[in-house]
């Protein structure tokens, strides 16, 4: 790997934070805890927070037909009598399938995507769209099958835009990032001077070296395009696992957070969060390997951000982090 930032936390304390390696190998720039990089699918958790926020305000019904919200019509051609709901989208059981060739073509290297989110979604999901196909939908009814969908996630974020009347990047900044004080968190390359943005690398197995790739933007940016730092994501995770500590500056209520981490269709994933014994999300994209998890039984959370994709030893790495976290927690409690 090129560089890594790591933090280990308990419910109310930071047990360990450190960065290793390089954010830019060529210039020998060190990776830091404030280095900014894509966090990939951890981004999806902000969609879950946003929808829970709107639901608590009484502005959205999770069990309503999504066609009541959007300006185009979506129907699963294999299940025409069944509606798709936000609750389906947030548990990845809407039946929407990512056609990889189309989805990956919306990664725009060297720049932000210039394609509007709603335009892409309409063309992919609406019957007269340029990218529409019956194969964009599962043959199972909504609610019956866990089928991880980036495009379905982006659709949920698009509904947030419609209900709130604000672009998703603006809404999340105002409601989430500003409240939790996450100054190094933003969606687009154009949002800030990105001088602290880590370079991204992929492993070239043939030549056994790291190849640098261009920074990129996503058309369906809410599903994986958030850029942040270890310091910011540490605050973000602690905010939602320690509801008592943050009660005075709540985004959503304690009851809302508990509901967000409760099962709807599956006992392992709901509301764009992994749930059950492990709360959080992981992420992987070109040049990116990330994780943000809290182990309830152990009382240990950890965040890691690696500016290298295809990190093959990730499982062993995470097990080592958990063991180290247990050791630190025991040491801290003495």
* CATH value at residue 132: 3.40.710.10
Confidence of residue 196 (pLDDT cuts 50, 70, 90): confident
State pLDDT tens for residues 286-304. Answer: 999 999 999 999 999 999 9
Task: Name the H helices within the chain.
Answer: 44-56, 86-90, 100-104, 117-125, 150-164, 168-172, 178-180, 230-241, 254-260, 314-333
State pLDDT tens for residues 18-77. Answer: 999 999 999 999 999 999 999 999 999 999 999 999 999 999 999 999 999 999 999 999
Work out how many domains the chain is built from and give that number.
Answer: 1
What's this model's pTM, rounded to 2 decimal places?
Answer: 0.95
Q: Containing domain of residue 158, as a range?
A: 3-333
Percent of the chain with pLDDT over 90: 84
Distances (CA, A) of 36 to 31, 182, 213, 254: 9, 11, 15, 30
């Amino acid at each position: 790997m090129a560089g890594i930032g790591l933090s280990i936390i308990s419910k109310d304390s930071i047990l360990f934070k450190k960065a290793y390696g390089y954010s830019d190998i060529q210039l020998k720039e060190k990776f830091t805890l404030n280095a900014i990089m894509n966090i990939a699918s951890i981004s999806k958790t902000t969609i879950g927070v946003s929808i829970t926020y709107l639901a608590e305000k009484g502005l959205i019904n999770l069990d309503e037909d999504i066609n009541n919200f959007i300006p185009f019509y979506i129907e699963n051609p294999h299940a025409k009598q069944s509606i798709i709901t936000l609750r389906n989208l947030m548990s990845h059981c809407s039946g929407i399938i990512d056609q990889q060739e189309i989805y990956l073509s919306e990664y725009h290297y060297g720049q932000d995507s210039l394609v509007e989110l709603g335009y892409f979604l309409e063309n992919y999901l609406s019957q007269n769209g340029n990218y529409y196909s019956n194969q964009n939908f599962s043959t199972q009814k909504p609610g019956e099958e866990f089928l991880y969908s980036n495009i379905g996630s982006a659709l949920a974020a698009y509904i947030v835009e419609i209900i709130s009347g604000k672009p998703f990047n603006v809404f999340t900044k105002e409601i989430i990032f500003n409240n939790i004080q996450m100054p190094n968190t933003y969606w687009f390359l154009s949002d800030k001077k990105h001088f602290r943005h880590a370079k991204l690398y992929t492993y070239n197995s043939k030549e056994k070296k790291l190849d640098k790739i261009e920074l990129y933007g996503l058309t369906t940016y809410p599903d994986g395009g958030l850029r942040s730092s270890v310091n910011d994501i540490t605050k973000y995770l602690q905010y939602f696992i320690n509801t008592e500590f943050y009660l005075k500056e709540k985004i959503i209520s304690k009851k809302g957070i508990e509901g967000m981490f409760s099962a709807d269709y599956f006992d392992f994933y709901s509301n764009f969060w992994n749930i059950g014994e492990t709360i959080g999300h992981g992420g992987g994209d070109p040049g990116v390997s990330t994780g943000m998890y809290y182990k309830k039984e152990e009382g240990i959370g950890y965040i890691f951000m690696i500016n290298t994709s295809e990190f093959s030893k990730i499982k062993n790495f995470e097990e080592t982090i958990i063991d180290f976290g247990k050791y630190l927690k025991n040491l801290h409690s003495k």
